[in-house]
Amino acid sequence: DTGVSQDPRHKITKRGQNVTFRCDPISEHNRLYWYRQTLGQGPEFLTYFQNEAQLEKSRLLSDRFSAERPKGSFSTLEIQRTEQGDSAMYLCASEEVLNTEAFFGQGTRLTVV
């Protein structure tokens, strides 16, 4: 088990382009979380899944953001029409339902130019 894997590690995109990030959680983990972290700040909640069901989505998440976990395994986070304010580290974490500990990936650093 290699832990939570995120791809890509870095992404530079032009304003207005769409980007998609992938997260592969630890295999037996039912819950999967997406967070956004800007420099010097704590992780900010975006959304989470339990299996394939998206149970909560932050009100801060605009309609340009969408996340999926189609088969309850990996997840994707898509940002449409990127803006410079979207530049941040996007973190994925997974958790086993019966064990309260979130394991984090190394994140995807997005730079919008």
Partner 1 sequence: AQTVTQSQPEMSVQEAETVTLSCTYDTSESDYYLFWYKQPPSRQMILVIRQEAYKQQNATENRFSVNFQKAAKSFSLKISDSQLGDAAMYFCAYRSASTSGTYKYIFGTGTRLKVLA
| Chain residues that interact with partner 1, rule: CB under 8 A | 3-4, 31, 33, 35, 40-45, 48, 50, 55-56, 91, 93, 95, 100-107
The closest of 95, 55, 53 to 70, measured between CA atoms, is: 53
Nearest approach, Cβ of residue 80 and partner 1 (Å): 23
* CA distances from residue 59 to 44, 49, 66, 69, 85 in whole angstroms, order as listed: 11, 16, 12, 19, 16
Closer residue to partner 1 in complex, CB, 56/78: 56
H-helix or E-strand containing 101?
none
The CB-of-62 to partner 1 minimum distance in angstroms stands at 18
Residue 102 or residue 110: which is nearer to partner 1 going by CB?
102
Shortest Cβ distance from residue 43 to partner 1 (Å)?
Answer: 5
Q: What is the DSSP letter of 42?
A: -
From the list 14, 85, 100, 81, the residue with the least C-alpha distance to 44 is 85
Least distance from C-beta 47 to partner 1, angstroms?
9
| Of 17 and 41, CB closest to partner 1 | 41
Instruction: Give me the helices (H) in 47-96, please.
Output: none
Please say which residue, 84 or 100, places its beta carbon nearer to partner 1.
100
